[in-house]
Amino acid sequence: MCSKAQDDMEEWNCRDEVEEETRNTAPVTRNVENWQPPLHLWLKCNTDGAWDHNREHCGVGWVLRDHHGDVKWMGARRLLKLRNHIEVEAEALRWAVMMMVKLNYTNVVFETDCKGLIQTLQDTKSNPSILAYTQNIHNLLTKIGPHQVVFKSR
């Protein structure tokens, strides 16, 4: 527990570099009105990844909401840069599914804005470079009970 707290503190202290970079950019606004709640007694977990070929880090995140739109859990973290954007999106989904398994949730709709990831989950031959991710995601999903993994464009 103490080592996790220490890791979190170090990650928090690294944010100064990111905050300095974001001060010099225009604010990003997102249309959250487009978000649709899941069916009654279901949860929705939105996942996303951030990747830039010019940076040495990438980011992943997820948010879990109930059918009222109330946030139940969320997570975000910075990682050493992965090979490409689809790997980052796959890592975001893998982490979210893993957390839902740990938290014993069922009836979860996982929503991603990465059409390529959804295609690869449906047909692993379409993108063999992320085969390890898709296999891991499929294995985790077997532990979650009723679920859906869907594409939702921004």
CATH of the domain at 133: 3.30.420.10
3-state class of 139 per DSSP? helix
Tell me, yes or no, whether 120 lies in a domain.
Answer: yes
Any idea which of 29-38, 57-66, 91-100, 106-115 has the lowest mean pLDDT? Answer: 29-38
DSSP for 46-75, please give it: EEEEE--TTSSEEEEEEEEE-TT--EEEEE
At residue 17, does pLDDT exceed 60? no
Which pLDDT score, from 0 to 100, does residue 94 have? 95
Domain count, the chain: 1
At residue 150, does pLDDT exceed 50? yes
Tell me, yes or no, whether 93 lies in a domain.
Answer: yes
At residue 103, does pLDDT exceed 60? yes
Tell me, yes or no, whether 20 lies in a domain.
Answer: no
* H or E element at residue 12: helix 2-13
Tell me, yes or no, whether 29 lies in a domain.
Answer: no
Tell me, yes or no, whether 17 lies in a domain.
Answer: no
Q: What is the C-alpha to C-alpha distance for residues 96 and 48, in angstroms, rounded to an integer?
A: 10
Write the pLDDT tens digit of every residue in 39-72. 999 999 999 998 877 778 888 999 999 999 999 9
**Residue 92 lies in domain:** 38-151
Is 112 in contact with 89 (CB distance < 8 Å)? yes
At residue 79, does pLDDT exceed 50? yes
Tell me, yes or no, whether 32 lies in a domain.
Answer: no
Tell me, yes or no, whether 127 lies in a domain.
Answer: yes
What pTM value is reported for the model?
Answer: 0.76
